[in-house]
Amino acid sequence: MLPHDPTTPVPHGFAEIFAEALGASTFTLVQLQQELARRKVMLSVATLSYWQTGRSQPARAGSLRALGVIEEILGLPNGTLLSALPRSAQPAWSPITALEDHEPASQVLESMGLGFNNPLSNIVLADFTHCGLPGGLERQAVRRLVCADAEGVRRFPGVFHGAEPGLHPPRVVPGTGIQLGEVIEIPGQCAVAVEFLFPHPLSLGELAWYEYTVEWEADDDPHNYHSLALTTQVKAVTMGAIFHEDPPAAARLLHTTPDGSTISQLASWGQTKGDIQFTLRNAPPGIMDLEWWAAGSDPVWS
């Protein structure tokens, strides 16, 4: 269970949360600076004071990395301070770079006047894949709560891949809170780029909840994984697989850092009895891979 309702915007900014956490601890600013130095993190007392009073906030890469150490010292949940910063101050990356051949998708989005850096922050994300549907179909169902980081946000992009070239490209079906604009097939790939539209332009800081589904033709290979790319930290992510035929024997959830240097196992399931679901608070940026396999099969650490 989440310690607070993630659909409710946090009423305090970074400075207030940092000041409250410091006040509730046994550390003074000087003691915190000394403890950071002991852990090879060099910040001045003046910098920490500016952060506490709101005169400045962490912006450089070294300062952003230091927040994790401060959270550990003050006994805060992982990501508490980082997620309190404006989205523009959080480290971000583009998941399109994780694709082997991302140029065609980038070119199609550019022709639509869109890019992967859109002014929306994910607050809550639920992403489920449906396996073994009648008619040889697979389906992805997505629900998101987002916050507008700019004034007048009306549209944003999506890129969706099917099973393999030669099959029909995936079909995107908008649900509650969203409309579908332009849809263009990506040359040489079983994929489409789509334009999502809100019913009205969002104001800065406005929340929006929307849903959509994606369906595609299954190929001859078993559907045994589901991937999700997070560009920044997300307050709450739920990821799962729903099996319309026999469930797998075991499964696991992996996280790969944006630079690809570290793969961590976040959860594992043995002797599954049915569907798989996992919820993570303050999910870090990177690739989340949910993998499953039948009895007698061995997983491959990729």
Q: Could you give the CA distance from residue 195 to residue 155 in angstroms, rounded to a whole number? A: 7
- Name 138's Cβ contacts closer than 8 Å, sequence gap at least 6: 129, 130, 131, 163, 215, 216, 217, 218, 223
Q: Where are the domains of the chain?
A: 14-84, 102-293
CB 255 within 8 A of CB 200: no
CATH code that applies to domain 102-293: 2.60.40.3140
What's the whole-model pTM score?
A: 0.70
- Name 28's Cβ contacts closer than 8 Å, sequence gap at least 6: none
Q: Each residue's pLDDT tens digit in the chain (302 positions)?
A: 233 344 444 446 899 999 999 999 999 999 999 999 998 888 889 899 999 998 888 877 678 778 888 999 999 987 788 878 876 666 666 665 555 556 788 888 889 888 766 678 889 999 999 988 888 889 999 999 999 888 899 999 988 988 777 788 899 999 999 999 999 998 888 889 999 999 999 998 899 999 999 999 887 777 788 899 888 888 899 999 999 888 888 889 999 887 777 889 998 887 667 889 999 988 888 889 999 887 656 555 44
Q: How many CB atoms lie within 10 A of CB 195?
A: 18
> What is the pLDDT, as a whole number, of residue 296?
59
Residue 16: its H or E element = helix 14-24
CATH topology of domain 14-84: 434 Repressor (Amino-terminal Domain) (1.10.260)
Tokens in use for 192?
């489409």
Quick one: 130 exposed, middle or buried, by C-beta within 10 A (0-12, 13-18, 19+)?
A: buried
> What is the pLDDT, as a whole number, of residue 164?
75
